[in-house]
Amino acid sequence: MDRLTRLGPLQSAGLLFLLGLSTAMAQPPLWFLPVLWIAYPIALYLILARPGWRGAWLLVWAFWWGQITGGMYWLAWIVGVDLATYWWVTPFAVLGLPGFLALVQSPLWLVVWWLDRRWRLGPLAALFLFAGSAMLAEGVRGWIFTGLPWGPLGTVWGFHPVTLQLSAWIGVFGLTALTTLSAGAPMLVLHEGRWARALVLSFAPLFLLVGFGMWRLDAVQDAAAAPTGTVVRLVQPGTNSLIRLPEAERRQRVVDLIALSFPPSHETAAETGAESDGASTTQAATLAIWSESSIQFFIDFFPEELEWLTAQLPRGAQIIAGGLGASPPNGPNEPQPTNTAYFITDAGIQQRHDKAHLVPFGEYLPWFVSWVPIPAFSAGSFWQGEGLSTWQIDGLPTVAPLICYEMIFPGSVVRRDGPRPAWMVNISNDGWYGDTSGPRQHFIFARFRAVEEGLPMVRVGGTGISGLIDAAGRVQAKIPYGSAKVVDVDLPRALPITAFGQYSRLIFWTLALGLMLTGFALGWIMRRN
């Protein structure tokens, strides 16, 4: 290790970038977790060993740059949707955006380095400070500049319902802190040869994660699986809605979706391509759910379009569908397009939710780059919705609609005022990601939100991955990426509101600051001794 500490700044930064990049193997869908217990100890050891603040900051930034780049490599596929026009954007998307996000996160770990240098806290204290500040850093990334909390470290535990359960109390950011503590603990061996401390701190968080998970899952799994009797139909056409269809084809897509959703009564589920699994049901579906961008014409702005759509629906049909909307007029300006989720019956639009968390560069151009001459992007800017919605619909359990990446924000997927929803629905268009890790990661994020809130999650994407996740995080039904299938599921019941669902901000700050105060206390004790 001494040889590594003598590397020059750029060589060290390159090594830290590769170590960060390697941690992406622990993310879905690979789940190769052992890499964390290699990358984190070496990275933390080299950061603490760096003599100057500029070199230390460079290493911190490089490590997180590599980690975020590895988790978001699918950004290249977004540019590839129109590669002939945006080929030049590829390096900025694949490396530039992760580099900027790492820049947002890096100051907190640099502060840990400075505190260790200033007060000689020692590696044990620094480890707790690194864990607490990693949690804070991911929280900051999920908030600043509208936020992009994609792929927090804690999602590496999304592979099994048991390891998901602790997020009902501390959220995915809390799991980030515990993972940093556990994976970084071997640093104590590199610094001091403290095998006993390293083993205890590596295994204690894992025992907590698994032990609590087994206890809670056993306690809630029966209640979480109990059916409500409300049958919904998940409609995954297997088509990509990214590129706007020619006007002549837009209505045909809706006709095709209606045919999938409401086949003639004599046809069976198998004849319509429906999957059969543990969550399927022979009851008639109450509601059909379509993905984001399914309706590519303005049904709320042009009455004739809505009239045509409702005329195609069978009597009594109900759908939740994503489509274009028009914002309320803003003074003399023309209405702007919205990314909207609708609840529609044969009588018309009954509810709507306008997407409030818009995707930077994809759905709007941030102010700090608004001068960049990319007219196709800027012309596609959407109007920002007012916030989260809760739909109270006659004959259906109360639902919280979420569009695409509105679902990735821990603690911010359900309105806290008014009635608590009985389930969440996330409609998405994951064709952006191609057949990469992106759709798999997105589905795992949905599992975390279900456990954090204690609410079942229904997810429907045009190309997938669609499915039903119960409030304990178990996948009750799933349609693979790229498949064209229909699945009927009986909505399971909600669990009582979780600790995280009720006190997410308090828990976030208490845990993060608690770990950091523990680090300070350990440093003070070590100095006295």
State the alpha helices, DSSP H only, in 9-122: 9-22, 36-49, 53-71, 75-80, 83-86, 90-91, 97-119
> Which residue shows structure tokens 């799991």?
175
Tell me the residue type at 85: T
Give the tens place of pLDDT for each residue, 72-111.
Answer: 988 877 665 555 666 666 777 788 889 989 998 999 999 9
Residue-wise pLDDT tens digits, 134-162? 999 999 988 876 678 999 999 999 999 99
491: pLDDT strictly greater than 70: yes
Cis-peptide into 465, omega within 30 deg: yes
Predicted pLDDT at 377:
46
For the cut 50, the answer to whether the pLDDT of residue 113 exceeds it is: yes
Contact 488/281 with Cβ under 8 angstroms? yes
DSSP 8-class letter at 186: T
Contacts of 208 (CB under 8 A, 6+ apart): 166, 178
CA distance 154 to 144: 20
Domains and CATH numbers, the chain: 2-221+504-528 (no CATH), 228-492 (3.60.110.10)
Residue pLDDT, tens place only, 324-342: 888 765 544 667 888 999 9
Residue entry with tokens 């996160």? 105
∠ CA 321-261-493, rounded to 5°: 70
Alpha helix positions (H), 395-463: 437-453
Average pLDDT along the chain = 88
Amino acid at 496: P
State CA 149 to chain mean position distance.
7
pLDDT score, position 221: 95
Q: Write the pLDDT tens digit of every residue in 464-479.
A: 899 999 999 999 999 9
Mean pLDDT of 215-232: 96
pLDDT of residue 374: 53
Contact between 456 and 424 under an 8 Å Cβ cutoff? The reply is yes
> Over the stretch 274-318, which tens digit does the pLDDT of each residue have?
443 445 554 678 899 999 989 988 898 888 999 999 999 999 999
Q: Does 61 score more than 80 pLDDT?
A: yes
Where residue 56 falls among pLDDT bands split at 50, 70, 90?
very high
Neighbours of 495 (CB within 10 A): 22
Amino acid (one-letter) located at 29: P
Question: Contact at 8 Å (CB) between 456 and 423?
Answer: yes
- The per-residue pLDDT for 359 is 76
Length of the chain: 529
pLDDT at 362: 66
Chain CA centroid to CA 121, Å? 35
How would you classify the pairing of strands 485-492 and 227-236? antiparallel
